[in-house]
Every structure is written in C-alpha cells, then in structure tokens.
Amino acid sequence: MLPRFVGVQAKEQAVSAALAVLRAGAAGGGCVPDLEGSIPLWGRIIHFLACATGRLIRLVGGRFLFCTRDAYTAAGGFSESLYAGEDIAFVLAIKKVGGFVVPRPTVVTSARKLRVAGPWEVIGLMLRIAVRGPRYDNTWVRDILYGRRAQDSRKPVKAA
C-alpha cells in the first residue's frame, strides 16, 4: 500500500510526517502552507487565521495532499467536473473514507496572489469557500486564481 503524494514543494519534514500519519492508519492528510516572499501585515494575519482554522477543522488546500492508494480509489480521485475546488472535494471525500490528519510541518508556496487580491477579496474568497465548499467557482474566483490577475502575478517585478 504505497502513499500517493500530490505536490512538489514538500519539505522533507512534511514527507516524513505524511508517512508517519499513513503508517498510523489514517486514510490521508495534508499540510498547511508557509508563504514565501513579501507578505503584507493583513496577509500574515489572514494566513495565520486560515492555517489555525484549517488545522482545527482538518481542511487544507491542494499544495500537499497525501493518502493511501486504497483511500484515493475509494474517494474517487480528484473530480474532473470541478474547475476549482477539486482539492477541497477530494479532502472531504478522503475524510469519509477514514481519518484525515493535518500534521505540524508546513510546505512552502508562493504568496504572489496576495499581490493581485486585496484583503477584502481574500476574505470574500475564504467566506465563499466556507459557504459553498468545493463548488465555490465563479468568474470572479477564476480571475483571482487563474485569470489575468493570476497571470500578472507571475510576471517578474521590474526594478525601478
């Protein structure tokens, strides 16, 4: 029974923790993010609250998810019917299969989207996810996550 890892920026500690969680009998789990780069104060506050909440309710996004092969199969894998939110749907399905654990280690991900979305948009997105679950997708969400603004956030910043 081999674990299935999804995510490429996993720290060695996160991988070790994931293996320990699976060996202890959990169906799967996921790590909360550690943001890299310059982060405004409002972003650090929202990040802290989101991570604390994610640990409390055992719900994390798709930066680093892991599960056993049996759990992946029983959960039906990632939904191809969702454009956004497939990671949340997958976590909810894994929770139905068995234990889902959020270990202490974090994984590094970019904070670049905080450069294209303001605090109220981030809070609005989080509330939309909380209310709608994995079916939170709409054109506004797509613009932030995948659209022009998301593409703009990937462009290198020119020195003055």
Let me know if residue 27 belongs to a domain. Answer: yes
Domain count of the chain? 1
Q: State whether residue 104 is helix, strand or coil.
A: coil
Q: Is 113 in contact with 145 (CB distance < 8 Å)? A: yes
Q: State whether residue 34 is helix, strand or coil.
A: strand
DSSP state of 66: E
Let me know if residue 126 belongs to a domain. Answer: no
Comparing CA positions, the residue from 29, 128, 8 lying closest to residue 75 is 29
Q: Is 108 in contact with 148 (CB distance < 8 Å)? A: no
Query: How many beta carbons lie within 10 A of that of residue 1, not counting itself?
Result: 7
Let me know if residue 81 belongs to a domain. Answer: yes
Supply the pLDDT for residue 151.
Answer: 72
Let me know if residue 95 belongs to a domain. Answer: yes
Q: Distance between CA atoms of 70 and 27, rounded to whole angstroms?
A: 8
Q: State whether residue 38 is helix, strand or coil.
A: coil
Is pTM beyond 0.95? Reply is no
DSSP H or E segment with residue 119: helix 119-132
- In terms of residue numbers, what domain contains 8? 3-111
Let me know if residue 67 belongs to a domain. Answer: yes
pLDDT per residue of the chain (160 residues) written in tens, 0 to 9: 445 454 444 578 899 999 999 999 999 999 999 888 889 999 999 999 999 999 999 999 888 999 999 999 999 999 988 888 899 999 999 999 999 999 999 998 888 778 778 899 999 988 988 898 888 888 888 887 777 766 766 666 555 4
Supply the pLDDT for residue 156.
Answer: 61
Supply the pLDDT for residue 158.
Answer: 56
